[in-house]
């Protein structure tokens, strides 16, 4: 490691005592009176909670259960279950036997509680959005900040990035947090503007812009405009972080300029404010990088494979630097990062004659992320490279063209066998016919059976597709689960 900015703490944060953890003594996150004030509700009794959940399956001892009334089901049906699992209280809009705060609308109350959490917080807040890489970037940012300030960083879990997930993540933020990292997503214009005004980030980071949810947008530029809404919620003096190598860079900068006091670019190209000046892939698949920042330089090893992760890491470092975090600790955290389930996790599974490597990218897919992960597969030292590719959803009228366009990426990766899954993959199957051995399976169950039968020692298998295709079940089955 070379020069580091040093302090991991932000001026104005609360005293630096370790944040409480739920595995030990009960620590109050919200009292019933605080909940009532925040939501405009009426408390049935005095109580305190140490966590917040709106999924009854996730409720643990001491949690606040918010009984949301959704289109598919009503959370009030699960109140007894939540209290049986140890809930300390509930937010409800109907009769409830347990300790509760009654409100007119529980969804509105969730938003109000999230806003109250943000209002009381002294944390440095970072918002992350993009078409590709936002969850991984959010997790990497959290790892970097938590490495230097253990127990003082908070982030949204899973992909809780929508109109209910974002306020839930805010409501869960410990009152003494020093850093908060929040993922924000959208599939329609205007959605991100509402979320960012709730989060009110000090730093707003946009990752890769790519075709995703294109059935709801006229073109990719419109997607960039919708992602640029994240800058509208920046706090005074805030920082916007924009991908330098994106064809939409100038469009994003223009969107940021009215709201940001400082704009940073990141990427691989000469001229980026934070860039990978040097990088080379090591024999173990990791990448050694020298990053240059406005006032610093950092050399570190990136544990996650793929050129797309080099660019993502520059965005992470830009955000850490802007937040006043410790760059040296960030470099160590990026070296230790492994793939997330469904987003790059690697598994070793039984195969005929030995074992095979599974690259689990089953959570989601669009043309850009497909291309990036096929490059990762192509770099694998394997006896056979197998690509299990599920159809990409929500691509609108150009869906067939986007699918067919993957053919050159499959061929460039030297794929030995392509297992294509779902009706949407018909265009790619046609484009690859006669050029690579392939099977076009109608569904994930068929693909699972075919893959299980053909796996051999030394195979490297990329499994990627839109989440709704169900390839996560294929990964789970290969790993020994039910699938």
Domains of the chain, first to last: 30-106 (3.40.1390.10), 114-336 (3.40.1190.10), 345-478 (3.90.190.20)
**Size of the chain in residues:** 483
Query: Which residue in 374, 349, 352, 351 sits closest to 361, CA to CA?
Result: 374
SS3 content of the chain, % helix, strand, coil (to 5): 35, 25, 40
Q: What is the pLDDT of residue 215?
A: 65
Residue 462 confidence (pLDDT) above 50: yes
pTM recorded for the entire structure = 0.79
pLDDT band at 199 (very low <50, low <70, confident <90, very high): very high
| 382 close to 458: Cβ distance less than 8 angstroms | yes
Q: What is the rounded average pLDDT of the residues 239-268?
A: 97
Hey, which residues does 183 pair with through a beta bridge?
128
Q: Which two tokens stand for residue 132?
A: 């590709």
Residue 373 tokens read as 């992960």
Q: How large a percentage of the chain has pLDDT more than 90?
A: 76
Distance, in Å, from the CA atom of 350 to the CA atom of 387, rounded to the nearest integer, reads: 18
* Whether residue 478 has pLDDT greater than 80: yes
pLDDT for residue 245 is more than 60? yes
The dihedral of CA 171, 172, 174, 180: what is its sign? negative
Chain segment 125-180, per-residue pLDDT in tens: 999 999 888 889 999 999 999 999 999 999 998 778 899 999 999 999 999 999 99
Angstrom distance (rounded) from CA 270 to CA 251 = 19
């Amino acid at each position: 490691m070379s020069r580091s900015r040093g302090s991991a703490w932000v001026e104005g944060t609360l005293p630096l005592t370790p944040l409480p953890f739920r595995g030990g003594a009960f620590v109050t996150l919200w009292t019933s009176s605080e909940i009532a004030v925040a939501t405009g509700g009426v408390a049935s009794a005095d109580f305190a909670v140490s966590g917040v959940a709106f999924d009854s399956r996730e409720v643990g001892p001491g949690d606040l259960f918010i009984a949301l009334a959704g289109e598919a089901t009503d959370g009030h049906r699960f109140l007894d279950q939540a209290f049986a699992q140890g809930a300390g209280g509930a937010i409800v809009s109907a009769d409830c036997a347990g300790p509760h705060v009654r409100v007119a609308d529980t969804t509105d109350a969730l938003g109000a509680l999230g806003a109250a959490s943000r209002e009381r917080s002294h944390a440095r807040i970072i918002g992350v959005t993009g078409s590709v890489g936002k969850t991984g970037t959010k997790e990497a940012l959290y790892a970097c900040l938590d490495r230097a300030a253990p127990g003082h960083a908070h982030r949204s879990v899973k992909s809780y990035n929508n109109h209910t997930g974002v306020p839930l993540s805010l409501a869960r933020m410990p009152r003494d947090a020093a850093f908060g990292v929040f993922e924000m997503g959208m599939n329609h214009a205007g959605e991100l503007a509402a979320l960012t005004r709730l989060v009110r980030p000090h730093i707003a980071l946009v990752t890769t812009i790519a075709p995703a949810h294109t059935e709801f947008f006229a073109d990719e530029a419109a997607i960039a405009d919708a992602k640029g809404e994240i800058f509208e919620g920046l706090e005074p003096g805030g920082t916007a972080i924009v991908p330098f190598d994106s064809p939409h860079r100038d469009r994003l900068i223009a969107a940021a300029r009215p709201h940001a006091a400082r704009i940073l670019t990141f990427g691989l190209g000469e001229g980026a404010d934070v860039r990978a000046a040097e990088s080379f892939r090591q024999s173990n698949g990791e990448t050694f990088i020298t990053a240059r920042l406005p006032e610093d330089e950092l050399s570190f090893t990136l544990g996650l494979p793929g050129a797309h992760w080099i660019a993502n890491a520059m965005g992470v470092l830009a955000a850490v630097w802007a937040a006043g975090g410790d760059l040296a600790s960030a470099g160590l955290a990026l070296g230790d990062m492994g793939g997330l389930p469904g987003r790059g996790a690697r598994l070793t599974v039984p195969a005929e004659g030995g074992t095979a490597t599974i690259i689990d990218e089953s959570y989601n897919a669009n043309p850009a992320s497909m291309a990036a992960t096929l490059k990762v597969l192509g770099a694998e030292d394997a006896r056979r490279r197998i690509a299990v590719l599920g159809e990409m959803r929500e691509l609108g009228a150009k869906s067939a063209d986007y699918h067919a366009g993957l053919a050159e990426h499959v061929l460039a990766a030297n794929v030995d066998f392509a297992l294509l899954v779902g009706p949407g993959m018909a265009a790619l199957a046609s484009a690859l016919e006669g050029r690579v051995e392939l099977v076009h399976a109608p569904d994930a169950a068929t693909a699972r059976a075919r893959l299980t039968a053909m796996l051999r020692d030394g195979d490297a298998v990329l499994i990627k597709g839109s989440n709704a295709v169900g390839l996560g079940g294929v990964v789970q089955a290969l790993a020994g689960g039910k699938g």
